[in-house]
Amino acid sequence: MARDPDARLGAEISALRRTLRTLRGENGCPWDREQTLDDIISYLIEEAYELLRAEKSGTPRDAEDELGDVLFIVVFIHELLLERRRTALADIVARAHRKIVRRHPHVFGPTKARTSAESLAEWERVKRAERRTRRSPALLDAVPEKLPPLRRAAAVQRKAAEVGFDWSDGADILDKLDEEIAEVRRELRRGRREATKDEIGDLFFTVVNLARRFGIDSESALERTTAKFIRRFNDVERRASRAGADLSSMTLDEMEALWRKSKRRRPAAAPSKRSARAKGAARPRGRS
């Protein structure tokens, strides 16, 4: 008879924990011994992004490897928590399990949900009931400060929407977007740098709100557009090289002509009609 995979999982996690304790021990690894909870949690965010990238562009084995890294960081975090307070990982898993069951009354309880929207409504209803039974901090305090800016903006907006503070219609957000663009233009004309920065921040926040309202992940959408830009720009560079030219010596009009050719080469990936100049392709940019 094959060995119970759940029993093997417990044995492997126990072995991983023993290795971690060796690393954190007196004769262990200096780096591992120095890590704090804040340090390791920040690595969890990085590893989650590595997993996302592997799932989108890697092989199944790549995704499995990255998932293993995420699991290792989770166990590391629990080990650091154990050094402060003796809370068994099994208790944490059981608590999470009970919460998931509790927040799905339409599956494990008496209510019904026929659509994804109804499922989310049930989830939020149970969350609101849970908050009423305990003293909670301010609603938005629950959003981690260390989230990447786009993801944090979306998380803040979702939290506010939980209590009904949300746009009633996507068209209203589009109107707000036009308003924010007009305010950016106004501050640019006035030459007020800090005010312009504030208005561009408002513009970003509104774009994130628009994406959230229509169920689109802002970071995923931006990453896809960035990857598309990289593909096209690399094609521009190759075309210039084949013509014996160097991008740094070309005019913007010459580069834009190559950009248009690159867009025609990938029509399915080119919904935008904006020019290379509008996409900021006038000159090479550094990493930001």
Structure confidence by residue, pLDDT tens digits, 207-253? 999 999 888 989 889 988 988 899 899 999 999 999 888 888 889 99
Q: Interhelix angle for 116-132 vs 149-162, to 10°?
A: 80
- At 186, the pLDDT band (50, 70, 90 cuts) reads very high
Could you give the maximum distance between any two Cα atoms of the chain, in Å? 77
- At 281, the pLDDT band (50, 70, 90 cuts) reads very low
Q: What is the pLDDT of residue 2?
A: 54
Cα–Cα nearest to 35, from 72, 88, 89: 72
Q: What is the pLDDT of residue 180?
A: 95
Q: How far apart are CA 227 and CA 223, in angstroms?
A: 6
Structure tokens at 187: 């501050």
Q: What is the pLDDT of residue 270?
A: 40
Cα–Cα nearest to 75, from 22, 28, 31, 20: 20
The residue type at 193: R
The residue type at 280: G
Residues 144-174: pLDDT tens digits?
887 888 889 999 998 888 888 888 888 999 9
Cα–Cα nearest to 76, from 64, 89, 90: 89
Residues 60-112: pLDDT tens digits?
889 999 999 999 999 999 999 988 888 888 899 999 999 999 999 999 999 99
Q: What is the pLDDT of residue 199?
A: 95
Percent of residues, the chain, with pLDDT higher than 70: 89
Question: Cβ atoms within 10 A of the Cβ of 114, count?
Answer: 8
- At 136, the pLDDT band (50, 70, 90 cuts) reads low
Q: How far apart are CA 164 and CA 157, in angstroms?
A: 11
pLDDT, mean over the chain: 84
Question: Cβ atoms within 10 A of the Cβ of 215, count?
Answer: 8
Question: DSSP characters for 120-140?
Answer: HHHHHHHHHHHHHTS----GG
Q: How far apart are CA 52 and CA 45, in angstroms?
A: 11
Model confidence at 284: pLDDT above 60: no
Segment 102-129 mean pLDDT: 88
Q: What is the pLDDT of residue 275?
A: 39
